[in-house]
Amino acid sequence: MNVLTYHTQWVVRVRNLTRLAMAFVVLFSLSACVRLVSDYDEVLDNGLMEYAKSTDTFLLRMARASGTPDGTYTKNATFYDQSRADVSAMRMRSEAQPNNAITVEQIKNLESYLSELEDLHQILGAKGLTGDIVKRVRDSNSQAIGAVLALEIAKKRGGK
């Protein structure tokens, strides 16, 4: 093999490697543009915190009012109506954002949780939500809301 042929092959290889490297750079740059989850939503974050506070306050009040007329479902149906509206608004806001399926699913879990709590309160009748039930419900509530908040905080950190 003469020197000219060797040099030509070497130049072709270098060009091919350069093109390959450039293709990788372009692909890597484009992959950075692909978003797998939505951006952080401050309104949702604040709504979740308000919902957490109102639900926790309600549950603590129900533990104290257990067995009294103030602890019955009928006296507290307004809380469920307001909470259902709050969670529904959070779900609608989340559904409006692209790449937000995980958050939407977690909020749907909050809706299911709220419906189950309401059903339980109705079933218990005049007895209301007892202290033991409230403790378990508060723990579950904290976990469910915490899961959505953790995702939003992770989005916030990822956006910086």
Q: Say whether both 83 and 139 belong to one domain.
A: yes
Kindly report the CATH number assigned to the domain that includes residue 90: 1.20.120
Q: How confident is the model at residue 37 (pLDDT cuts 50, 70, 90)?
A: confident
What pTM was estimated for this model as a whole?
0.77
* Residues 144/113, Cβ–Cβ less than 8 Å: yes
* 15, pLDDT greater than 80: no
pLDDT at residue 19 in the model: 60
Q: Say whether both 9 and 60 belong to one domain.
A: no
Cα–Cα dist 138/157, whole Å: 27
Q: Say whether both 79 and 9 belong to one domain.
A: no
**Token digits for 60?**
């603590």
Contacts 24+ apart (CB under 8 A), 12-17: none
Q: Say whether both 14 and 75 belong to one domain.
A: no
Q: Say whether both 1 and 26 belong to one domain.
A: yes
Q: Say whether both 28 and 46 belong to one domain.
A: no
Q: Say whether both 29 and 59 belong to one domain.
A: no
Residue with structure tokens 């469920």? 80
Determine the 3-state secondary structure of 16 from DSSP: helix
Q: Say whether both 98 and 71 belong to one domain.
A: yes
pLDDT at residue 3 in the model: 43
Cα–Cα dist 135/59, whole Å: 8
Give the other-Cβ count within 10 Å of 110's Cβ: 22
* 43, pLDDT greater than 90: yes
Domain that holds residue 3: 1-34
- The whole-number average pLDDT for the span 93-97 is 96
